[in-house]
A and B are shown apart, each in its own frame.
Chain A
Amino acid sequence: MELYKRKNIPWRIIDKEALVVDPQSSLVYPFNRVAARIWQLLDGTHGLQEIAGIIYNEFEADQEIAAEDTRNFISQLKEARLIEKL
């Protein structure tokens, strides 16, 4: 299931970290490097497994931890209604 950022969510990468704004709540979310990379990958062309694989490769993380962190972060994004499924 491909995931993508909700339409009209303002965001910017700041030296590999990110600021993401929810215009509905006016909340500003700061994302660390891993979270920012996951956020970039939420472009509708990647599924959860694929994103976890990229995080595992790019950050040399433990495979299981990378998968769990990705899952957790994406479910937080869903809860905050910052992403949608295709």
Chain B
Amino acid sequence: MSSLLDAIYQKAEDLRIPLNVLLELTNRCNEDCLHCYIKDARDINSLSNDDKELTCAQVTALLDELAREGALNLILSGGEAMLREDFFDIAYFARSRNFALTIFSNGQLIDQAKAKRLADLSPVCIYFSLYGSSADTHDRITRVPGSFEKLQNAIILLKQNGLKVGLKTILMRGNIAELKEIYDLGLRLGIETHQFAEEITSRIDGSGASEAAQIDEPALFAYYRQDVPNPPEYIKELPQEEARKKEICSAGTYGVAVSCYGDVYPCAELRLSLGNIKNETFGAIWQRQDSFLDKLRSIKQYGDLEDCRDCALVNFCRRCHGRAWYEAGDWSSCYENAQKRAFLNKRINTEIRRKKEVNLG
């Protein structure tokens, strides 16, 4: 980062400017992914007022306020955001308020007309999740026959309309054998970026259903020993007093998530509500003194957390406050999966170093 960019981000943090916003427009979805963390299968007509999705007017009032507060990067997410009939009204409103728009979608509702409207919005990128290199795998994970074909068509339409497309693939039991093919499919479709993730977000209903699809450590280790797309980079092991200065997740500083019901969270994973915009303004929620938020904002590096300060795995850990809260009931504590993953990262790192030494030798 340039020093001026750094300085502006620091200023945003100091002034509590929510530069990055993730806005979940709905939890409804037309897919039924095995690992989904958010899907809401309730009948929307049966919901009470408090449980109802934000109306278009509430969303646009929020966007208006966020723009005034200095928010710049806006992700419109779901569920499947385009299931909302007012999706384009909201997106065009966001465009009119100069947000840098990113859209997360599953592509199922994108036809030529929608692709053109999306192009009019000049988004920074539209991201889709791709779970398989064939209909067989992808549709088995989305549990919707035909979803693979529709997704491919959506990507082709967006590329024809000059849009930038990103793909996200979660490594799961059901697709780990074909990740190379998934990566190659992305290249053939001409996408701009392809992110691979190995951790599955915990289901917000607490059912644990999403974790069932998660790959265990031995399978991941075996996977990373092969020649893989986007291989992990070698991590230089620092002495403890240096390692503990490693930056930690900045949830609650210049990033924020808002649910489709109006709850404001420090991030989409750390679902501890700070307040609800149906009851008060975003600014009142974001700027007030709140012991939880104040503590969260004061944690800048691993060494600021008691559990992590002297942990031998700190070089290799990529802990998440949200997962800690979900798994251990305390966002600031260590949790089993962080330890397991950090240990796995250490083993992978040793393997990378060994390979390097063999190549040099």
Contacts and interface: CB of A to CB of B under 8 A. Distances in A.
Interface residues of B, number: 26
B5 A15 contact: no
Contacts of B4: 17, 30, 32
A21 B72 contact: yes
A4 interface: no
B207 interface: no
Contacts of A28: 5
A65 interface: no
Interface in B42-94: 67, 70-73
A12 B98 contact: yes
Interface string A1-44: 00000011111111101010101101010101000000000000
Interface residues of A, number: 18
A13 B8 CA distance: 10
Most buried by A among B7, B11, B100, B124: B100
Contacts of B15: 14-15
A11 B67 CA distance: 10
Given A23-B100, A23-B124, A26-B124, A12 B11 contact: no
A30 B8 contact: yes
B8 A19 contact: yes
Nearest to B15: A15
B287 to A, nearest CB: 15
Contacts of A12: 19, 67, 70-72, 98
Contacts of A32: 4
Interface string B117-144: 0000111110000000000000000000
A14 B12 contact: yes
Nearest to A15: B11
Most buried by A among B2, B5, B71, B122: B122
A14 B17 CA distance: 8
A61 B101 CA distance: 37
B28 interface: no
Most buried by B among A8, A10, A17, A23: A10
B95 interface: yes
A23 B72 CA distance: 12
Given A21-B124, A23-B123, A10 B101 contact: yes
Given A21-B124, A23-B122, A11 B11 contact: no
11 contacts: A10-B98, A11-B72, A12-B67, A12-B70, A15-B11, A17-B4, A23-B100, A23-B123, A23-B164, A26-B164, A30-B5
Interface of A: 7-15, 17, 19, 21, 23-24, 26, 28, 30, 32
Interface of B: 2, 4-5, 7-8, 11-12, 15, 17, 19, 67, 70-73, 95, 98-101, 121-125, 164
Given A10-B124, A12-B70, 11 more contacts: A8-B121, A11-B98, A13-B70, A14-B15, A14-B17, A15-B15, A17-B11, A23-B101, A23-B123, A23-B124, A23-B164
